[in-house]
Amino acid sequence: MQPSNSNAARSASSGVRLQQWLVGLTLTVFGVAMIVPFVWMMLSAFKTEGEIKQIPPTLWPETFTFDNFHRLFTEMDFTTYLVNTLLITLFSFVGLLLNAMAGFGFAKYRFKGRDKLFLLVLATMMIPGQVTMIPVYLILNSVNLTNTMIGIVLPGFISAFGIFLFRQFMSALPDEIMEATRLDGASEYKLFLQIILPMSKPILAVQAILTFIGGWNSFLWPLIIANDEKLYTLSVGLQLLKGQHGTNYALQMAGAAFMVVPIMILFVFAQKHIIENYNISGIK
Amino acid sequence: MKGTSKYAPYVFIGPTLILLTVFSLLPILVAVYISLTDMDLAGLADYSNISFVGFRNYADILSDPIFLVSLRNTLFYVIIGVPLVIVCSLAVALMINFGRNRAFKIFRVVYYLPSVTNVVAVAVVWSYLYNPGIGLFNYILTSIGFDRVPWLTEPTIAKLSLILLALWRGIGLNMIIFIAALQGISRSYYEAAQLDGASNWQQLTRITIPMLRYAIVFVSITTMIGWLQFFEEPFVMTQGGPLNGTVSASLFIYQNGFQYSHFGYAAAGSFVLFFIIIAITLLQLKLQRKQAEE
C-alpha cells in the first residue's frame, strides 16, 4: 500500500511540474511577442536612415549611431516639447493635491449633502470625453484660455477615480489621531497637511506615479488647445514628426524611444505599487 | 477654531466641485445647446452668427453616410475587440496565477508594459512594423513563405490591424484586475475540490469562473464602454482611412468638431454616441442580471 501511494504522489507531482513548465513556456512565447515592438524600436533607433530601408533588415545596427537622437533636438524642437511636457506633469501634481483634499473632505467630515455630492463626483466618470471635449474648448475659448498652458492643464486637474481612491484610503485612517491633533489646537488644514498626508503615503505614491505617467503621456488635450508649436508636448511633437518625416523610420523610432523609455524605467521600479493599487481600490 | 472646522470640509472639496462644475457638468448643458445650433467658426468669432436650428443636426447626422459607416466600424471594433481583450487578459491572468515559481511575477510586468506607454509613440512604432515594404511583420511573413499583407491599406484588414494594436495595449490593465480577483478566491475551495478528485478543468469551470463573475462583469462593461469610444489608434495610425474604412464614431466627432469646426454638428454626434453607450451598458447589465438569476 505504502509504495504505490508514494508512486502516485510522485507521478502527480511530476505532472504538476510539467504543467507548470508548459504554462511558463506559453507565457514566455506570448510575452516575447508583447515586447517585440519595444525591442525593434530600440534597435532601429540606433540605425542609420539607409540601414533601416535595407531588405532583409538587420537585427543589430551595423553602424551604431546617436545621430537620430541628436536630430530630434536640432531639426525638431524636442527641447521645447520636453520642457512643456515636464511643466504639464508638474502642474498636474496641483490636481493631485486637489484630489487628495477632496478625498479627505468626503472621507472625514459630516456635512449637509455630502453623500449626494460624492455621488455626483462619481457620476461625472460616466460622461464620455467626446461629449465634453467640444464645449470645454468653447468655454476655454470664451475666456481666452485656448493656446495657453493653463487651458491645457486646468480641465485635467480633477480625477473622479482618484478622489474615490483617496476617500477609500482615508476613511480607514483612525479618527482618534485626528481628535488628538485637534485637542493640541491644530487647525483642520494643519491636520490635513501634517497628519493625514504623511499617513496616506501608500496611496499618494501610487497616485503620484500615475499622475506622472498621465502627464507625460498627455496628448489629445494639448493637441486641441495648443495652436502654437511653442506649447506642443512630446506626444504632439512626435505626431508632427511622423507627418514631416513620414518615411524616416529611424528618426521616428528615436522619437518614440525618447518618450517610452523613461516611462518603462519608472514603471519597472514602481510596478509593485501600481499593481497593488487595484487591491486598494477594492475591485474584486 | 470652531469657525474653521465648520467651513473646512467646503474648503477641501470646494476647488474640486468648482472644477467639475466648469469642466464636466456645465459642458453637458453647453453641448446640448450647441447641438441645437449651427455653431461653427463664424459662430465662434461672433456669437450673433449662431442660429437655432432645432433637431436639424440630429436629422442630418443620422442620414450622413460617413457617420453611419463610422457607427458600423465602431460596432466591428466592439464585436471583435471586446471578447478578444477579455478572453486574452483572463487567459494570461489565469496562467500567471497558476504559476508557483516567483519568476511568474515577471510576466505581470511584461504584459502590463504596453498599457503605460504613450499611444503616439506606440502608434509610430506599429506603423513601422506594419509598413508593407520594409516593415518587420511582412518581412517575417514573406521569409516563411506567406504573401505580403496590406496591413493598413485594405479597409477590413486595417480595422483588424488596429484591433491587434489595441489588444496589445489593452491586455495589461484587465489582466491586473483579474489577478487581484483571483487572489481573493479562498484556497479552501480548491483543496476541497482536489479531495473530491476534480480535474484542473473542472476546478476552472466550476470554481474559478463562477467566483470571478463580478470581475468579469466589471471588466466587460468598462471594456465595452472604452471600445465604443475607440479613438486614438485610428486617429494616429490611419486618420480614419483608407476610404473611411477605420473611422470610428469618436474620430468622426473629433474630425467634425476640430478639423472642420462644425461644432454644432459634432456635438449632436457626441450625444448620439452617448445614447448608444448608455443603451448598450443598460442592456448588458440587464442580461447579466438575468444570467445571475438563472
Residues of chain B with pLDDT > 70, as a percent, come to 98
Considering the domain boundaries, does residue B146 fall inside one? no
Which chain B residue is nearest to residue A43, measuring alpha carbons? B125
Same domain, yes or no, for A112 and A144?
Answer: yes
Average pLDDT of every residue of chain A: 87
Considering the domain boundaries, does residue B124 fall inside one? no
Distance set, CA B57 to CA B34, B62, B108 (Å)? 10, 9, 47
- State the nearest Cα–Cα gap between A149 and chain B, in angstroms: 16
Q: Do the chains contact at A23 and B214, CB–CB below 8 Å?
A: no
- State the nearest Cα–Cα gap between B225 and chain A, in angstroms: 9
- Mean pLDDT over A241-268 rounds to 90
The full length of chain A comes to 284
Structurally, how many domains does chain A consist of? 2
Any CB–CB contact under 8 A between A90 and chain B? no
First to last CA, chain A: 45
Same domain, yes or no, for A108 and A197?
Answer: yes
Considering the domain boundaries, does residue B143 fall inside one? no
Q: Which residues pair with B207 in a beta bridge?
A: none
- pLDDT at residue A9, rounded to an integer: 56
Q: How confident is the model at residue B59 (pLDDT cuts 50, 70, 90)?
A: very high
SS3 (DSSP) at B260: coil
Q: How many CB pairs under 8 A join A and B?
A: 275
Same domain, yes or no, for A89 and A214?
Answer: yes
Same domain, yes or no, for A149 and A33?
Answer: no
| Residue B84: domain span | 61-117+167-293
Residues of chain A with pLDDT > 90, as a percent, come to 53
pLDDT at B1 over 50: no
**CATH code at B227?**
1.10.3720.10
- Mean pLDDT over A191-214 rounds to 90
Same domain, yes or no, for A178 and A212?
Answer: yes
Tell me which residue of A238, A124, A97, A262 sits closest to B20, measured CA to CA.
Answer: A124
Distance set, CA B243 to CA A200, B156, B159 (Å)? 52, 11, 12
**CATH code at A172?**
1.10.3720.10
What residues of chain B lie within 8 A of the CB of A182, using their CB?
5
- pLDDT at residue A281, rounded to an integer: 56
Considering the domain boundaries, does residue A113 fall inside one? yes
- pLDDT at residue A112, rounded to an integer: 87
- pLDDT at residue B65, rounded to an integer: 96
- State the nearest Cα–Cα gap between B105 and chain A, in angstroms: 10
Considering the domain boundaries, does residue B34 fall inside one? no
- Which of A109, A139, A249 is closest, CB to CB, to B9? A109
Decide if A240 contacts A176 (C-beta within 8 A): no
Same domain, yes or no, for A88 and A38?
Answer: no
Q: How confident is the model at residue A12 (pLDDT cuts 50, 70, 90)?
A: low
Q: Do the chains contact at A20 and B101, CB–CB below 8 Å?
A: yes
- Which of A138, A187, A217 is closest, CB to CB, to B4? A187
| Residue A17: domain span | 2-52
Same domain, yes or no, for A89 and A175?
Answer: yes
Same domain, yes or no, for A39 and A179?
Answer: no
Q: Could you read off the pLDDT of B10-34 as tens digits, one per residue?
A: 999 999 999 999 999 999 999 999 9
Considering the domain boundaries, does residue A267 fall inside one? no
Considering the domain boundaries, does residue B5 fall inside one? no
Same domain, yes or no, for A168 and A228?
Answer: yes
- pLDDT at residue B3, rounded to an integer: 47
Considering the domain boundaries, does residue A130 fall inside one? yes
pLDDT at A4 over 50: no
Considering the domain boundaries, does residue A278 fall inside one? no
Structurally, how many domains does chain B consist of? 1
- pLDDT at residue B187, rounded to an integer: 86
Considering the domain boundaries, does residue B49 fall inside one? no
Q: Among residues 155-214 of chain A, which lie with CB inside 8 Å of chain B?
A: 155, 157-158, 160, 163, 182, 185, 187-189, 192, 213
Q: Among residues 34-73 of chain A, which lie with CB inside 8 Å of chain B?
A: 34-38, 40-41, 44, 52-57
Which chain A residue is nearest to residue B173, measuring alpha carbons? A275
Same domain, yes or no, for A102 and A19?
Answer: no
Q: Do the chains contact at B15 and A102, CB–CB below 8 Å?
A: yes
What residues of chain A lie within 8 A of the CB of B9, using their CB?
105, 109, 111, 114
pLDDT at A124 over 60: yes
Considering the domain boundaries, does residue A220 fall inside one? yes
Cell numbers given for B92: 494570461
- State the nearest Cα–Cα gap between B216 and chain A, in angstroms: 10
Decide if B96 contacts B172 (C-beta within 8 A): no
Q: Do the chains contact at A37 and B8, CB–CB below 8 Å?
A: no
pLDDT at B195 over 80: yes
Q: Do the chains contact at A234 and B44, CB–CB below 8 Å?
A: no
Same domain, yes or no, for A43 and A93?
Answer: no
Q: Could you read off the pLDDT of B227-268 as tens digits, one per residue?
A: 999 999 999 899 988 999 999 999 999 999 999 999 999 999
B37 secondary structure, DSSP code:
B
Q: How confident is the model at residue A271 (pLDDT cuts 50, 70, 90)?
A: confident
Same domain, yes or no, for A111 and A150?
Answer: yes
- The ipTM, to two decimals, is 0.88
Q: Could you read off the pLDDT of A18-42 as tens digits, one per residue?
A: 888 999 999 999 999 999 999 999 9
Query: What is the residue whose three cell numbers read 504623511?
Result: A198
Considering the domain boundaries, does residue B193 fall inside one? yes
Between residues B6 and B172, the one the model is more confident about: B172
- State the nearest Cα–Cα gap between A34 and chain B, in angstroms: 7
Segment holding B20, helix H or strand E: helix B2-20
What residues of chain A lie within 8 A of the CB of B4, using their CB?
187-189
